[in-house]
A and B are shown apart, each in its own frame.
Chain A
Amino acid sequence: MTTRAEWPLWEVFVRARRGMAHVHVGSLHAPDAEMALRNARDVYTRRQEGVSLWVVPATAVVASTPDLQGAFFEPAADKDYRHPTHYSVPEGVDHL
């Protein structure tokens, strides 16, 4: 009796308030984008958690590989001169 063809997976993003970015909250299955939006409303915003929703087909997300995490982000590791704390400022100098 079970249908083997599963509805596709969608990733759900919610904007909690105006002025904030959409944040990933979870995923769900739905046959199409419209139903994905309606289901996302029912599953993830039953208590006014959002003012805007994005649903994105999970297959459309391109992610970096966790195995290569070290190498991938390595170029940023030895450049602490990109942070203001790298620099020493003489005593008494303000607003710098």
Chain B
Amino acid sequence: MEPATDRSATVEPRDPMPDGYRRTLVRQIAQHAHSEIIGMQPEGEWIARAPSLRRKAILMAKVQDEAGHGLYLYAAAETLGTPREELLDALHTGRQKYSSIFNYPTLTWADVGAIGWLVDGAAIVNQVPLCRCSYGPYARAMVRICKEESFHQRQGFEILHTLSHGTPAQKAMAQDAVDRFWWPSLMMFGPPDADSPNTVQSMAWGIKRFTNDELRQRFVDIAVPQAEALGLTLPDPELRWNEERGHWDFGTPDFAELAEVVAGRGPCNAQRLAHRVRAHEDGAWVREAAAAYAAKRAARTPTREPAA
């Protein structure tokens, strides 16, 4: 395939492409889309309990953005010839995955901050290189998403900063959230390079630009000084600056835990999926009613205003 091996060119939906390239993209973009809409749940749980009207408005805007990101990505996946219904069905029946991070619970308000700062922060590190991905519709969706993610990360940082500079109890709540979300955030980059057999092929196709471990290192390097600015610590005794490498050394995430969560045995897997399926089924009458209304109107009014 010419365009994907030539890093400057972009593959567009109707271009010829190898089956493996198409399959890999559908799987990756769908998993990404699923992550966006499942990701609405842990934060959505806190909308009604947000500590102020401002925080509530911000959180609603953020959760709405996640829905929007899911829609950009489903549309990108559909350009590869897989219908939306099929993608949702694959999510609902567990044939396709979503990011392991959303299988952890949000126990306190500070968790909303930790998700914004760490989880969205890790997502940004993962997603910025995808803006140059070889598949045009995916790359373009990522450009939109990355622009919107930076507000998400800042609002999370601000929540933690406020808590960290509040009462001792508030600071302890912020520290507890960071302690629980730090390692799962590092796991978001996937297994170590040695155990990531698809990485080489994805890099050759221009879908991936950096390896899991490279991105994980980048994230740690960015997060350490930010934690310092927050006045919070990161729960890793092995964390120290390596003058020679010019990077932070850090401990190894518990990849056995990651494998368990990916296999469906994380703290909230069953709850997240059940909630998603229920929301879809409860919304069936809305989809049916809208289709019936559209059919009735189409039968009655054939004219439409011209574009201006």
Query: Which residue from chain A places its CB closest to the CB of B304 in the assembled complex?
Result: A33
> With an 8 A cutoff between CB atoms, is A21 at the interface?
no
Asked if A7 and B72 make an inter-chain contact with CB atoms under 8 angstroms apart, the answer reads no
- Interface 0/1 of B287-308, CB less than 8 Å to A: 1101101100110000010011
> With an 8 A cutoff between CB atoms, is A16 at the interface?
no
Choice from B68, B83, B281, B307 contacting A1 with Cβ under 8 Å? B281
> With an 8 A cutoff between CB atoms, is B267 at the interface?
no
**Chain B facing A: main interface SS:** helix
Asked if A35 and B294 make an inter-chain contact with CB atoms under 8 angstroms apart, the answer reads yes
Instruction: Please indicate the chain A residues that have their CB under 8 angstroms from the CB of B256 in the complex.
Output: none
Count: A-B pairs, CB below 8 Å: 68
Query: Which residue from chain B places its CB closest to the CB of A69 in the assembled complex?
Result: B15
Asked if B284 and A3 make an inter-chain contact with CB atoms under 8 angstroms apart, the answer reads yes
Instruction: Please indicate the chain B residues that have their CB under 8 angstroms from the CB of A52 in the complex.
Output: 308
Instruction: Please indicate the chain A residues that have their CB under 8 angstroms from the CB of B298 in the complex.
Output: 32
Query: Which residue from chain B places its CB closest to the CB of A5 in the assembled complex?
Result: B291
Interface residues of B (CB under 8 A from A): 12, 14-16, 61, 64-65, 68, 71-72, 75-76, 78-79, 83-85, 88-89, 137, 140-141, 144, 148, 280-281, 284, 287-288, 290-291, 293-294, 297-298, 304, 307-308
Interface residues of A (CB under 8 A from B): 1-7, 9, 25-29, 31-33, 35, 42-43, 46-47, 52, 54, 63, 65-67
User: Can you show 30 pairs from A to B with CB atoms below 8 A apart?
Assistant: A1-B280, A2-B88, A2-B89, A2-B280, A3-B85, A3-B288, A3-B291, A6-B84, A9-B78, A25-B144, A26-B75, A28-B75, A31-B290, A31-B291, A31-B293, A31-B294, A32-B294, A35-B294, A42-B64, A43-B68, A46-B61, A46-B64, A46-B68, A52-B308, A63-B14, A65-B14, A66-B12, A66-B14, A66-B15, A67-B16
11 new A-B contacts, CB < 8 A, other than A25-B144, A31-B291, are A1-B280, A3-B291, A6-B84, A26-B72, A26-B76, A28-B75, A29-B84, A35-B294, A52-B308, A66-B15, A66-B16
